[in-house]
Chains A and B, each alone.
Chain A
Amino acid sequence: MGNMHRMILQKLNIAVMARVAIALFLATVLAQHVAVAAEKKVLKIAFRAAETGFDPQRIEDRYSVGICENFFDSLLTYDWLALPVKLVPQIVDKVPEGEEGGTRFTFHLKPGIFFADDPAFNGKRRELVAKDMEYAIKRFRDPVNRSPYSWLFEDKIVGFDEFVDAAKKNDKYDYDKPIEGIQVLDKYTISFKLRAPDYNFLYFFAMPIVVPVAREVIETYAADTMAHPVGTGPYILKEWVRRSKIVLERNPGYRGHVLNTQYANPDDPWDNDAVKALTGKRLPLIDRIEISPIEEEQPRFLAFMNREHDYIEETPFAFISQLLPLGKLAPAMLKRQVRVQRTEEPEITWDAFNMDDPIVGGYKPENVAFRRALILAHDRSQEVNIIRRGQASATMSPIPPGVVGYDPNFKAEDQEYNLPRAKALLDMFGYVDKDGDGWRDMPDGRPIILQFKYRANEQEGRQIAELWVKCMSAIGIRMTTVAVQFADLLKDRKVGKFQMSNLAWIADYPDGQNFLQLLYGPNTNISNDARFKLPEYDRLYSAALKLPDGPERSKLYREMNRLIVAYAPWRLGVNRTFSQFINPWVLGYKKHPILYTAFKYLDIDVPAQQASLEQ
């Protein structure tokens, strides 16, 4: 055998050798795959970024949080099919109504929900109780956890801030000490009292990080809670090789769930597929999920093309014209019966002006005119078509589609590219060339040199800056650019050390308030990077906070949108559209706007999967 091999190899040229090697490799992989798949439904996919870990109260990146959706059950969740998204109970009996004017929310846990088995429970089955939720909420502000989401519960629940202050003073974070606003009324009931009405408080309880955890587990694995997620959800962590492999397996003790088809849209083929594939079945159906974080775009794309992965989500824009030329599936994809699902994410991008800046800031008519002129001169269609390769649409208001409060009929003409209007506005307010150097100056004669800060090491950031410089020079305004490291950029923006910069925000929860808070005056130095402080806007914002979703609140949102367009602290950017490509054997696939993973609602046609791999 060995001899024969050598003889063959000597005769073949390199290219053929390579082909043989690949074929042998594929054969081996295939054999393994088939052997495993024969017994189980196995799903293999990639994530576009590495995870950090699975301690829900310690993480913030989408990918880790997305995996936690499968280990833990949040009290509430989103209906899988309803659009716009709808809050539904997950492990509580119903979505609570806000009591006491929207300041009290009481949850009743369903009895008989058990945590996945774990050595920390000493061989006993451990039932989920209200105290577990209280413990998890307290963990958010335990300094040990350094939770990136501690702000959710700051200045929110009665007595919590005082509890944290006392803990700081005594140098002991005492989990046994009660908090006035978090009352465990009985084994299954927990009630929260808020300082001020907040109808979005309920959304917190649909976040996959605001989930009950068992104190025994956290204390047993105190040294590495990231690697020991023990929850009540459909999956458990089977294997974890940090930053390279995450394997989930079905939780054998899981109670099971079904697909609610009540809100399915009969005109949506994806909904119909999901209904057809999953109705009447006890979910989950997938036995094992293997996730490989692959940060490089090309290998992630090739893994899908080589059928190593069952679907690819958020396909890199660079490959879109290969898979989806002119918006239609490429012939090669059609032949493979691959389907594409395109989703507009609940996120926006924008370019912020620093409202405290002596050149671009200010609220006087001439300041407003200057910003508005810059916006009118900025050719956003080039950002959409060239920088985002057509995989985005120009946004018209700070609230993106798919988020409560989004208004499809809101069109801001003053955010549309219009060179003559821009020039006319600058001329009208005296922003003309005064010193004869060919560039426009301030009405008082100061020269204008704008500065745009962007993220270094990233082509997209550079292109956005390039577009601005180009557009500004077209109206005679000089602009320089500075590239800074991402961490520094975040820091600079927080403290207002910038003039103009590009930013993005993705919904934490699907309410417009999550976006409108980005311009709320008191949020300066927290999330209001533009440092926008307009009393009228702040008044509307506070008023909207006290209202439940409805026409009255929508009206306030619209008013705020109008103020944003009029005072122009932002140049509104784009809503990106991501494409998901799904192999035909994956059944019931749907990309949810807020929830990140679909494993709980998927099925696989195993014979078709194997047949394709054998091809």
Chain B
Amino acid sequence: MSAAFMNTPSTAPAAPLHQPSPGLWMLAWRRLKHDKVGMVSLAVVIIFLLMMVGSYTGLIAKNWSKEAGVSYANPSFMAGAENLEAVRTKADPNAIKIEPVDLSDIDPLAPRYKEWAERTAKIKTTETPRAETLPFGGDKWGRDVLQKAIKGAETSIFVGLFAALFAVFIGTTLGAISGYMGGKIGDLLEWFYNVFTSIPYILLILAFAAVFASSPQLAAYKGVPMVVAILAFTGWTGIYRLIRSEYIKHASREYVKAAQAIGASNSRRMFVHILPNVSHVCLVQLSQHVVQFIKAEVILSYLGLGVPVDSVSWGTMLAEAQSELVIGKWWQLAAAGISMAILVTAFSMLTDSLRDALDPKIK
């Protein structure tokens, strides 16, 4: 794609220079480098991405699900504070000793009681004592919320990134076809688009979730892949509209006509000639949708449609935190909320800067 790019600046209106020179991407990069906010945001985003890769490969937050502390363990910096929730879990019920009921006359397992007892005696269990405090506090099961937030970032960013990639792919492909071809195909796709946008967003998400849940073939992809698919299938519409308008604009430009004159096929014109010239739109849309989908994942998980119970995302953390705040356990909300706020803000800022850098006319 980049090779095609180097050829096009002379004809592409978006590329302003005529001298043999750095391409659009290089220029954009130069402009971005001068944008302090953009660079800081980029750094933050890269750190989060590295964190995601690190946690995916097991370099960090590997033991996030380990219940190292007591229930709602205090953060280390609040070591002395009273933790009523944990006192209860330690309390030994002073129950009266009752003889367990004898089942041996009716139990289908009765013939093997002896063997069972022998095998049981051989199995050793070690119980590690639970810590009173954890670096940034514990959740209800006594897991470290900091590690949980890192693991949650993995899920949330993964979902945001891949859902955005898919949505951009769908939106761009359909937008290109509709905008370039026009006519009957264009009308058909417009209808399709209208149907999608006429349904309220949350309702559409719920409808997709219901379809996924009820189909046995798709049920195998439950969990994170399903969330990605739902978000991608519902979120492509805005991208479609933008790309379509770009293609309508570009389809009649001279460089496209020139390509037609030398015998370039329709698909070549669409994806080799025009696409690079609208790719900045795609890129900006991509980063915008990453932000949007990270937030949507939070909503989905909050509604119980998101990630499965044995994994963690910022959405599930926030959903849990809702009831914890009342009893004064603020750390899970803080961990998830702050990390999400930082990433989303950085991503939004980066998007702004990217748009400025890629499309200087807007500035």
Contacts and interface: CB of A to CB of B under 8 A. Distances in A.
B4 interface: no
Interface string A64-108: 000000000000000000000000000000000000000000000
Contacts of B85: 321, 386, 389
Contact of A382 (B99, B124, B141): B141
Given A369-B109, A484-B213, A562-B103, A386 B140 contact: yes
Say which size band chain B's interface belongs to.
35 or more
Interface in B133-161: 140-141
Interface string A476-487: 000111111000
A318 B327 contact: yes
B18 interface: no
Interface in A201-248: none
CB-based closest 3 A-B pairs: A413-B100, A424-B119, A456-B304
B140 to A, nearest CB: 5
Nearest to B312: A466
A151 B110 CA distance: 39
A484 B322 CA distance: 21
Interface stretch (A24-32, A171-179, A269-277, A563-571): A563-571
A565 B88 CA distance: 28
A481 B309 contact: yes
- Looking at chain B's contact residues, the main secondary structure is loop
Interface in B281-319: 303-305, 308-310, 319
B111 to A, nearest CB: 8
A481 B316 CA distance: 15
A458 interface: yes
A403 interface: no
B123 interface: yes
Interface string A553-567: 000000001110111
Given A385-B89, A483-B304, A425 B84 contact: no
- Looking at chain A's contact residues, the main secondary structure is helix
A179 B124 CA distance: 67
Given A321-B84, A421-B116, A473-B310, A462 B99 contact: no
Given A365-B109, A413-B101, A456 B309 contact: no
Contacts of A456: 303-305
A420 B93 CA distance: 22
Nearest to A397: B101
Contact of B120 (A413, A424, A480): A424
A469 B109 contact: no
A29 to B, nearest CB: 25
Interface of A: 298, 318-319, 321-322, 325-326, 363-365, 368-369, 372, 381-382, 385-386, 389-390, 393, 408-414, 418-421, 423-425, 427-428, 456-459, 462-463, 465-466, 469-470, 473, 479-484, 536, 561-563, 565-567
Interface of B: 65, 71, 84-85, 87-89, 91, 93, 98-101, 103, 106-109, 112, 115-116, 119-125, 140-141, 213, 222, 303-305, 308-310, 319-320, 322-323, 326-327
A363 B204 CA distance: 44
Contacts, number: 127
7 contacts: A318-B326, A319-B326, A364-B108, A390-B91, A421-B116, A462-B319, A566-B108
Contacts of B89: 381, 385-386, 390
A385 B71 contact: yes
A428 B115 contact: yes
A482 B326 contact: no
Nearest to A462: B309
B116 A428 contact: yes
Contacts of B305: 456, 483
Given A390-B88, A414-B103, A457-B304, A482 B141 contact: no
Contacts of B116: 421, 424-425, 428
B71 A386 contact: yes
Contact of A567 (B71, B93, B100, B108): B108
A190 to B, nearest CB: 43
Contacts of B322: 459
B318 to A, nearest CB: 12
Contacts of B309: 462, 465-466, 469, 481
Contacts of A321: 84-85, 88, 327
Contacts of A382: 141
Contacts of B326: 298, 318-319
B222 A482 contact: yes
B125 A419 contact: yes
Contacts of B112: 365, 428
Contacts of B106: 536, 562-563, 566
A340 to B, nearest CB: 16
Nearest to A410: B101
A459 B101 contact: no
Contact of B123 (A363, A420, A565): A420
A325 B84 contact: yes
Nearest to B112: A428
Contacts of A465: 309
B98 A469 contact: no
A479 to B, nearest CB: 8
B101 A457 contact: no
A298 B84 CA distance: 20
Contacts of B91: 390
